[in-house]
Amino acid sequence: MRQYSRIEKRLLNDFQHGLPLSSTPFADIASELGVYETTVLENLQRLQTEGAISRVGAVFRPNRVGVSTLAAMAVPEDRLESVASIVNDFAEVNHNYERDHRFNLWFVAVAADEESLQATLKEIEDCAGFKVMDLPMEEDYFIDLGFKIPWT
């Protein structure tokens, strides 16, 4: 495992919550860290390229801004990686993951409205060649996925 710089550690730890709500959030972060905005952007890009982070941005309560759904597909094991890649190519999919189950590929899709969401799920089915099971949320629960990283 590579050693992270002081700036990278701060970016990974200190900004899991409370992303500045301003027109210049990265400049605001840079000011707090005592570095240039370009330094923040370069470090975040490197962390994303390396896979340490997947995205930087706000997280909204489900179905408050647009609509979303959890979806699942039953994909033969030998096709799982290629189908996951197809699913990932859709801008409306914000993440997918493998589960140890007959329905082994799960993902969350978002869209501006229900009609657009259903059209996206249909397009994913058509491109991937497998049926998508739509699992709309019935009740929401907030799970804070932020955690302090104990750097040693």
pTM of the model: 0.63
With helix as H, strand as E and coil as C, how does the chain read?
CCCCCHHHHHHHHHCCCCCCCCCCHHHHHHHHHCCCHHHHHHHHHHHHHCCCCCCCCCCCCCCCCCEEEEEEECCCHHHHHHHHHHHHCCCCEEEEEECCCCCCEEEEEEECCHHHHHHHHHHHHHHHCCCCEEECCCCCCCCCCCCCCCCC
Query: 91-105 burial string, b = 16+ CB within 10 Å, else e?
Result: ebbbebeeeeeeebb
Answer yes or no: is 32 within a domain: yes
Answer yes or no: is 1 within a domain: no
| Number of domains the chain contains | 2
Provide the domain limits for residue 80.
67-135
What's the pLDDT band for 10 if we cut at 50, 70, 90? very high
- Residues 82 and 33 reside in one and the same domain: no
Answer yes or no: is 146 within a domain: no
- Residues 129 and 81 reside in one and the same domain: yes
Q: What are phi and psi of 137, to 5 degrees?
A: -70, 135
- Residues 74 and 127 reside in one and the same domain: yes
The CATH number of the domain holding residue 122 is 3.30.70.3460
pLDDT tens-digit series, residues 15-43: 888 888 899 999 999 999 999 999 999 99
- Residues 88 and 127 reside in one and the same domain: yes
Answer yes or no: is 140 within a domain: no
Answer yes or no: is 112 within a domain: yes
- Residues 71 and 40 reside in one and the same domain: no
pLDDT tens-digit series, residues 99-133: 999 999 999 999 999 999 999 999 999 999 999 99
Answer yes or no: is 56 within a domain: no
- Residues 131 and 71 reside in one and the same domain: yes
